[in-house]
Structure 1
């Protein structure tokens, strides 16, 4: 028993937290663009944080449940409805057999995550169930979902008809009405000229429509090195901000390559990855410089809150 895909949506894939340990062979980590939303969604239904879920982008799918199941919907708001009625986010939702979950267009953010109690029955590739589209591996047949796909549940939740009257508070998942993204200086930050460094910290950047899971291309006045030079390729990661010869920055995302040869002006801090992941094409953002110590403090603080939340949710599921 599982879900039948009635409509695929714009880009719906199966993602977990990623494929670790293979970057030295050129294999990206991949995984969820917004791993915080995925982790929180899995917590809500009592799963391990790393369990696979659906990542729905901009326009979500329509799914028929062929068995009752406990689910959660987190991340961006893609106008989810259950049997035609608006369904709340950030809480466990009991879905009965024969129900249809549909999504419309994004009204806030870009990506929603649908987590299922017990997970989905797909095989691991290199220790992960994440879909890496460029190599056609992982997830469901290594590709985005299509109409008439059927994905089995790993297990059936017998409590899927019970009412759940609690939800996640708004304090842990970040809100970003100003669309400000914090970064630490990259290894080549000081190699850019004064105007470029000032521009990077003060100008507004437009997220190009030519953006995807590999990276976001940003449009603004070009950034320039003080003295143009050739660079050796070096390791890059999620949130690395590279500047190619044209001067338009690229923020690397979940499907980023393992190395790059462009100068790196900055590194987006980890606690702001969800803010990046939920940006839509044509959104405008600004960058704010912080120190490495500030970035580490923010990450430690979030980690403590996550652990406390995990214990609290586990107690609720035990009742």
Structure 2
């Protein structure tokens, strides 16, 4: 099975769970901006969690499915359609051979995930098929005329194919409620634990970090979100060496406008680390678009960890339920 890229869109890359365990070599993890959305997309088409999918940002691609395929779209709300037929999101859908799907622009949110049953066929570098745009690891971002292959046979093909000439055919009667997993509302605060250098901020900056809004700058990308807003400053200059950083680390460059590191973050950084976005809110932050407001609310490490584990348990249960439903349809 293969898919032709008729138009690549703004930034479409192949992503899986990421390239982990190589930070000591200076190799970052890459992986998805919105990890739960990627995981649920794979679950909806019967893939294993580590299968590669297509991540699309803000302006989506136009794809022609050369053969019949099963796909699922999760994450940001895109105006995806085959001619006049809208593509339903957050559920498995069979796509007829020859169908052209145009993903248009994102109406809400920034990043969406297109899983194809069987997983996208892409070479693995250091154990992952994820594209790291800046490090030039993995497959290059999609370009017009590219062809995507699929790694394995469709695991849910027996659930039915498009009938009566229809381009799209939803599988079964179930779909996911996106609200627990997709929340781009800029009015809701992002929970932030104190970083190692939070105490080094001057008093006005400590107050401003949680009391005043920031906006996602236009030059934000998969490496990090640059936040425009109140200028933050240290009470005294610090002598720092580069130390490990993670997705969600909030750094403070000399200009005073913080940067929240994201999926393609470097492995180390030398700027003061004034906060750490709670893991449970990383996907919510990733779905903020340029110009969107970001407000921070304080959270302690224990609460952040408890909430993260509860979310992971909920995801595990949901993925198991999806697998059972797909098995019932196949039977």
TM-score (norm 2): 0.93
Secondary structure at the counterpart of residue 101 of structure 1: strand
Q: Alpha-carbon deviation of 1:176?
A: 4.4
Q: Matches of residues 1-319 of structure 1 in structure 2 within 5 Å?
A: 1-139=1-139, 143-157=140-154, 158-159=157-158, 161=161, 163-170=171-178, 172-177=180-185, 178-319=187-328
| Alpha-carbon distance between aligned partners in 2 of 1:290 and 1:60, rounded to the nearest angstrom | 35
Give the whole-Å Cα distance in 2 for the aligned partners of 1:111 and 1:20: 21
CA distance in 1, matches of 2:325, 2:256: 51
Structure 2: distance between partners of 1:279 and 1:179: 11
Distance in 2 between the 1:174 and 1:100 partners? 26
Q: 1:84, 1:98 → 2: CA distance?
A: 15
> Is this contact kept in 2: 1:67–1:156, CA < 8 A?
no
Q: Which region of structure 1 is more displaced relative to structure 2, 161-170 or 298-307?
A: 161-170
What do residues 238-280 of structure 1 show as CA deviations (whole Å, max 9, x unaligned)? 0100001111100101111100011111000111111111111
- Distance in structure 2 (CA, Å) of the matches to 1:42 and 1:284: 30
Measure how far apart 1:82 and its partner are. Answer: 2.5
Quote the offset at 1:172 in angstroms.
3.1
In 2, Cα distance between equivalents of 1:47 and 1:172: 21
- Equivalent residue pairs, number: 316
TM-score (norm 1): 0.96
Contact 1:78–1:111 (CA<8 Å) still a contact in 2?
no
Does structure 2 retain, via aligned residues, the 8 Å contact 1:238–1:253?
yes
Q: CA deviation at 1:10?
A: 0.6
Deviation at 1:88, TM superposition (A): 1.2
Task: Give the whole-Å Cα distance in 2 for the aligned partners of 1:171 and 1:300.
Answer: 19
Query: Structure 1: which 5+ runs fail to align?
Result: none
**DSSP-derived class of the 1:36 partner:** helix
- The structural deviation recorded for 1:84 is 3.1
For the residues of structure 1 that align with 2:135 and 2:198, how far apart are their CA atoms? 33
Superposition deviation, residue 156 in structure 1: 3.5
Say whether the 8 Å CA contact 1:54–1:114 is kept in structure 2: yes
RMSD over equivalenced CA pairs, Å: 1.3
User: Structure 1 residue 230: deviation in Å?
Assistant: 1.7
Distance of 1:98 and 1:155 partners within structure 2: 20
SS at match of 1:265: strand
Any stretches of 5+ residues in structure 2 without a counterpart? 163-170
